[in-house]
Chains A and B, each alone.
Chain A
Amino acid sequence: MEDSIGKVVIPGDILQNLDEKKGKIKVTVGPGLIRDGSHIAVTKSGILRHREPSVFWVDCHQKRYVPARGDNVIGIVTAKQGDVFKVDIGSSEPASLSFMAFEAATKRNRPNLNVGDCVNAKLLVANKDCEPELVCIDSYGRSSGLGILPNEGFLLQCSIGLVRQLLRNKFNVLTFLGKAIQYEVAIGMNGRIWLHCHTVRETIAISNAICRSELMSDEEVQIMSKKVVDSLQGFE
């Protein structure tokens, strides 16, 4: 399994025969890998990643989000049902967000959330058998960056793979662009990015740059970001 780290794997590939290794080994498998009897088999096509000490997963460029507990997602409110908001997070089921799950929310002091608003929330409950649940506070009751996103700004839809790439790489298209342009960004693990810049032109430029950087290598991303920054500053 160690030889395949960083390499492309496809469904059906068998990575490790657990019987071969003697003694106890503890291997944590993430998305894209599954234990199939005495093997660890691949279920998605992508690149095998590894984190110390023994966590393995497959990075797949998929578009559809499958809820996982603890993910920060950006949802769009679709309905108000009594005390609960129904929020679309791009999964097969809409998630529920209680009005009490906001910082400083009480029964009298309800959050000012309307249908169509964007909200940055964390998944509290997310498994395949239940409806997903969101919260906008952490376990201490503080918002820590979560909550309603202001109406200025733009919501960009992209693939899950791209979002993970942005969050994983220290130097990515956002850092390159951030050296020249001021912006505010909220990245949701469900493939949604909320972006806010001073002008419309900058927002459009950055969102186009982000979308195009998905299958590019680092050098190409650097060259493209430079071009974008030059063209923006050239006109200013």
Chain B
Amino acid sequence: MKDHPLSNCEEKFVLAAIAENRRFDGRGVYIYRPIVILYGHDRGCCHVQIGCTRVLAQVSCEVIIPKQTRPNEGVLHMNVELSPMACPSFEAGKQSDYGVEVNRALERLLRDSLCIDLESLCIMSGEKVWQIRVDVHVLNHDGNLIDCSSIAAIAALSHFRRPDVTVSGEEVTIHPLDEKDAVPLSVNHIPLSVTFAFFDQGRTLLVDPTDQEERVMDGKMVVGINKHRELCMLHVSGKMLVLQDQVVRCVNIAAARVGEITDLIKDTLEKDNAARKSGKEFGFAKCLADVILGVDDLLKHYVDSMSVDTTSVGQTAKTVVDADGNRVQMEVDNAETGNVSIKVPGTGKMSTNTEGGAVTWCEGEESDSDVILLDKNDSTSSEVSSKQVSAVVELSDSEEESVLMTSQDLERTELSKSRAIETRENRGGRCRGKSFGGRNRGKRGRGNGQRYF
């Protein structure tokens, strides 16, 4: 899918507005859009919104064999998915250049800065370690994906609890959550990223660019830093040259912003923990319900638990089943025993395209029709000249190279039909045919215009 193209007048206007230090939402140049952090029902699930940009992160854990070069350390695996719902130009499955950029930035920020103590994830050295997997899904792209993803990832990691493990000698017991309380990950520090967009060859810069601003910017710089002013990551991209004093200036601004965001994360984590402990409701549904009841937003609707009137269901169901049962019984009684009764002359056809599909029954098509069902050992088998075999379906993988073949344009004569039935009856329902694709054993069964696919 294509996103709508950027027109010249739009580009010119946005650049003119930025030159006057005006932004569309009326923000200052160093101000973030409102950040909302919500936690889900599961541990390690976090949803972050910066303005209209939305990201969902989920942390999960698994026991794996550690790397040979690092037998004492667990593994932190980051996966950022740019979902097509975020932007029409993102493709599902394939990771674009931008996706790789976001992925690598997040890996360097979280994994390489050692924000999680990997040695604490070791269960048994060289044999069992925890693999912590962080899946970040981008839900809506309105600029500044790297910042939003970093907040979501680190908040989810701080929110997550892994199952408790006891090791006694060679035995390792992983306790389920109802037996022993889950254990939090040991988070050393909270690294966050701040994105700067550069315009006019570096003379103007903006913090937290929206999608519109990102499209017209010259380049961007992403600074990864924590509250203690320790730089974790620096990433510059785009077509511009960055001066040394600009980098220092950006790092200072980033340190200030990161301090505020870290406080916000800690605040929301505490609130969520308190809600869980005190037995109150928590999760996305609760947050949505709160918002609806608090503010009269026309786009949100909420209804409490509803009961469904199912008093007559049992009786009605019994009536239906009985009626159906009577009908089936009547059909069974009326059917002739011992004969295969074909209600309507026709052919059972397998799907002819290689992807599979529905099996259909086609009503009688008469005249020179032939059947390909043929036993290669049966010397009395008639000459079968099927007109067009458009596809072949391999049904059984028995050692005998016998494959049931039917075709979409298959037509039967009366003669071959009865013989086919006889053949089927004699052999208890299994039909053999020519082998598919492989060696052509003789000329039997091959007629005019027969094609093997």
- A90 pairs with B4, CB closer than 8 A: yes
Closest to B25 in A: A208
Stretch at the interface among B16-24, B325-333, B382-390: B16-24
- Decide: A155 near B10, CB < 8 A? Known: A200-B22, A204-B24, A215-B298: yes
Task: Point out the residues of chain A lying under 8 angstroms from B22, CB to CB.
Answer: 200-201, 204
Q: Give Cα A200 to B202, complex, Å.
A: 22
Closest to B24 in A: A204
Stretch at the interface among A32-40, A111-119, A137-145: A111-119
A157 within 8 A of B: yes
What is the interface residue range for chain B against chain A?
A: 10 to 19
A81 within 8 A of B: no
Interface of chain B, helix or strand or loop or mixed?
A: loop
- A154 pairs with B5, CB closer than 8 A: no
Closest to B2 in A: A88
Q: Give Cα A203 to B9, complex, Å.
A: 13
- A151 pairs with B17, CB closer than 8 A: no
Chain B window 225-265, contacts with chain A (Cβ cutoff 8 Å), 1 for yes, 0 for no = 00000000000000000000000000000000000000000
- B4 pairs with A152, CB closer than 8 A: no
A45 within 8 A of B: no
Task: Point out the residues of chain B lying under 8 angstroms from A150, CB to CB.
Answer: 9
B6 within 8 A of A: yes
Task: Point out the residues of chain A lying under 8 angstroms from B299, CB to CB.
Answer: 215
Interface of chain A, helix or strand or loop or mixed?
A: mixed
A78 within 8 A of B: yes
Task: Point out the residues of chain A lying under 8 angstroms from B24, CB to CB.
Answer: 204, 207-208
Q: Give Cα A201 to B21, complex, Å.
A: 11
- B16 pairs with A114, CB closer than 8 A: no
A85 within 8 A of B: no
- Decide: A200 near B17, CB < 8 A? Known: A208-B24, A215-B298: yes
- Decide: A76 near B20, CB < 8 A? Known: A153-B13, A154-B13, A203-B13: no
Q: Give Cα A207 to B13, complex, Å.
A: 13
Q: Give Cα A204 to B298, complex, Å.
A: 25
- A194 pairs with B9, CB closer than 8 A: yes
Closest to B19 in A: A200
Q: Give Cα A117 to B6, complex, Å.
A: 9
- A157 pairs with B20, CB closer than 8 A: no
In the complex, given contacts A78-B5, A204-B22, what are 11 additional A-B residue pairs having Cβ atoms less than 8 angstroms apart?
A116-B5, A116-B6, A118-B8, A118-B9, A149-B9, A152-B9, A154-B10, A154-B13, A194-B9, A200-B16, A215-B299
A-B residue pairs in contact (CB < 8 Å), sample of 8: A76-B4, A78-B5, A116-B6, A151-B9, A153-B9, A200-B13, A200-B17, A204-B24
